[in-house]
Chain A
Amino acid sequence: MEEDFKVIDNYLMVKMPEEIDHHKSSYISENADRFILRENVSNVVFDFEDTRFMDSSGIGILMGRYKKISCFGGKVFAINADHRIRRLLMLSGLHKIVEIME
């Protein structure tokens, strides 16, 4: 699971699991925070390539990380999000603070 977190330059890359729910979310949030602190990265990229299910817990993960890094000028990105995940990001208004990329 450690290999799902990679630091490239100033970016933390997080490979999101197949299913993102409350059960999985604390592991992702805690590890992301550990990397942000330890490696001193300012941006976080969440990669949804493998994700087939997500509920509002996924929104909570992105929102929480945004709160942590935005005050230092960092950005949160979402990549490879399918149309369902995009719809959740839109509905929650997260597309205003998270950059959604192909």
Chain B
Amino acid sequence: MNNEMKMEFDARSENESFARVAVAAFVSELDPTLEEISDIKTAVSEAVTNAIIHGYDGITDGKVTLYCRLEKDVIHIEVEDTGRGIPDVEQAMEPLFTTKPELNRSGMGFPFMEAFMDDLEVISGPGEGTRVLMKKKIGCTPWIGDGE
């Protein structure tokens, strides 16, 4: 089964729950387990929160784009912002690394995305915005790669 959806919303924190609930509803036709839904919601929440507080630094008229595609039993999720970008992606993905400890950020956003999805790719650079691409296979076995 193939299906896709795309939406754009303001970089406001109240849209974090809207985004994760929308993705959970979209993936429901693949009949995911509660566990899988929970994993996806957490990962989407992390990516969208990053766009809002890091990408746009709290400037709420920035736009976050959320794109999802179902391909057979795999959901592809892309979260994109056109904000400040990440100078060092590798460092940003390290557990506990955060540039905003004063906001009680834990530095666990990317590690949680990595743990709960089968595949995570981050495309970013200073002033270039950020694209987070995630994949998860719905079903009991983890997603392995192309051709699987």
Contacts and interface: CB of A to CB of B under 8 A. Distances in A.
B52 interface: yes
Q: What size tier do the contact residues of chain A reach?
A: 20 to 34
A21 B45 contact: yes
Contacts of A26: 103-104
A25 interface: yes
B111 interface: yes
A64 B52 CA distance: 21
A88 B41 CA distance: 13
B46 A55 contact: yes
Contact of A56 (B17, B38, B46, B52): B46
A60 interface: yes
Interface in A19-33: 19, 21-23, 25-26, 29
Contact of B41 (A25, A53, A60): A53
Contact of B17 (A21, A25, A60, A88): A21
Q: What size tier do the contact residues of chain B reach?
A: 20 to 34
Nearest to B53: A22
A22 B13 contact: yes
Contacts, number: 70
Contacts of A21: 13, 16-17, 45, 49
Contacts of B115: 91
Interface string B85-127: 0000000000110000001111111011001000000000000
A29 B105 CA distance: 11
Interface of B: 13-14, 16-17, 20, 35, 38, 41-42, 45-46, 49, 52-53, 95-96, 103-109, 111-112, 115
Interface of A: 19, 21-23, 25-26, 29, 53-57, 59-61, 63-64, 84, 88, 91-93
